[in-house]
Amino acid sequence: MSRERVCTVNDKGEITGEKWRDELLDTDIWRIAMIWVKDTEGNHLLEQRALTKEIHPGTWTPACVGTVTATDTPLETAVRELEEEIGLDVKPEDLKVVGSICYKDPQHGSRYAFAYLLTIAHQPAESFSIQKEELEQVKWYTDTEISQLHSEHPELIPIYEQYQKLGFIS
């Protein structure tokens, strides 16, 4: 992976500087795009992060999550991540802005997440073209199944409470 410049921000999302991504400290806050994909039946598409990832290997997150580079907007990152990680070609206007949230990541640093929602027709999880360097798999979950997974294995959904605050899950 080539080195990427990212913007550091304060807890309001205001840019405070720039750093190389591999030089971010635990005290830094940086921007991410978080994209929830739901089908028209209300199911959530979650991704299981690759087991080889340094941060949160094997955990379940929204369908796409990506660090916003210094040269991109959060929306540009969201569109690019959907294509790269799960093979969905979308336009910016297809994404609904849900909001933003600043949170301390339990493993490293803090994030200022720009949250988006994409609603699509249901398709089998196997039909998505997943980026194997980033993901193990994608899977459709109901609200109840996500809640049960978190209840039984909270370590598999490490920022569950932030997803609730954004209104993605109940």
Sorted by sequence, the CB contacts under 8 Å of residue 140 that are 6+ apart come out as 39, 43, 44, 45, 46, 122, 125
Residue 50 lies in a domain: yes
- pLDDT over threshold 60, residue 1: no
* Whether the predicted pLDDT of 166 surpasses 60: yes
- The answer to whether residue 29 sits within a structural domain is yes
The CATH code of the domain that includes 73 is 3.90.79.10
62 found inside a domain = yes
Tell whether 129 is covered by a domain. yes
Q: Is the pLDDT of residue 133 over 90?
A: yes
Task: Please state the domain count of the chain.
Answer: 1
**Tens digits of residue pLDDT in 95-125:** 999 999 999 998 889 999 999 999 999 999 9
**Tens digits of residue pLDDT in 20-48:** 999 999 999 999 999 999 999 999 999 99
Domain-embedded: residue 97: yes
Q: Does the residue 117 lie in any domain?
A: yes
Domain that holds residue 82: 5-165
Look at residue 170 and tell me if it is in a domain: no
HEC string for 70-107: CCCCHHHHHHHHHHHHHCCCCCHHHCEEEEEEEEECCC
